[in-house]
Amino acid sequence: MATWRKSLSVVALAGVVVSAAPQLKSSWRNPDPHALPVSRVIVIGFTSEQSTRRTMEDALTAEIRRNGASAEPSYSIVPGDVSKDPAAVKAKIAAAGVDGAVIVRVAGVSQEQSWDPGFVPVMPVYYQSLWSYYGYWQPYAWDAGYLRTDTVVRIEAVVYAVNGELMIWSGLSESTNPGSVPKLIQQVAVAVGTELKKRNVVR
């Protein structure tokens, strides 16, 4: 997570960094008739930073509750670091009386470069010949002022049934140059919470 925070501080090589709110790039609902919606959920944030874990779990817990289901953050029953041994937390989660578990983790952080001339050509005539194309675009070629490096953060959320351990739903969000970690987490929580209700994952 330290790497994540460091990556979020990356700025453009030149020009303005443009932020984009998280969007769910994928959302899969298990069509299996046994993949029933859950109503008592434990939210587990996979991160070694306790403050970030609490922020992740609290944000998504609040959204799930807002959408009508019961939810609790895992730090309330498994304080401290999240154990790497599933058996160590399985009994505690089972004893909590929940029927579903949501796991949230950072699936990837990457730097992506793009070249943007800053405008969209509106005159197709410039593409009609070699030299009209050349004359139109050559002044902007390799202009470092338009070379931009974006930080792309992907966060995955997966919902399992505690009994039977069946996957019910999985989703992947993607955001560009999110900047503030707490703001990013809140935005992802809203997007995921809305999708869980929409796809009948929680009730």
List domains and CATH numbers for the chain.
Answer: 2-198 (3.40.50)
Mean pLDDT, rounded, for 45-74: 95
What Cα–Cα distance (Å) separates residue 146 from each residue in 15, 64, 113, 114? 6, 42, 10, 8
Residue 200: pLDDT above 50?
yes
Residue 43: pLDDT above 80?
yes
Residue 146: pLDDT above 90?
no
CA–CA dist 143, 115 (Å, integer)? 9
**C-alpha 76, offset from chain centre:** 23
**How many helical (H) and strand (E) elements, i.e. helices and strands, does the chain have?**
5, 6
Residue 145: pLDDT above 60?
no
**pLDDT classification of 81: cutoffs 50, 70, 90:** confident
Q: Please report the pLDDT score of residue 11 as a whole number.
A: 33
**pLDDT classification of 20: cutoffs 50, 70, 90:** low
Q: Please report the pLDDT score of residue 15 as a whole number.
A: 38
Question: Which of the pair, 22 or 200, is modelled with greater confidence?
Answer: 200
Q: Please report the pLDDT score of residue 114 as a whole number.
A: 74
H helices within 32-171, ranges in order? 50-66, 86-95, 130-137
Q: Please report the pLDDT score of residue 155 as a whole number.
A: 96
Residue 8: pLDDT above 90?
no
What percent of the chain shows pLDDT beyond 70? 80
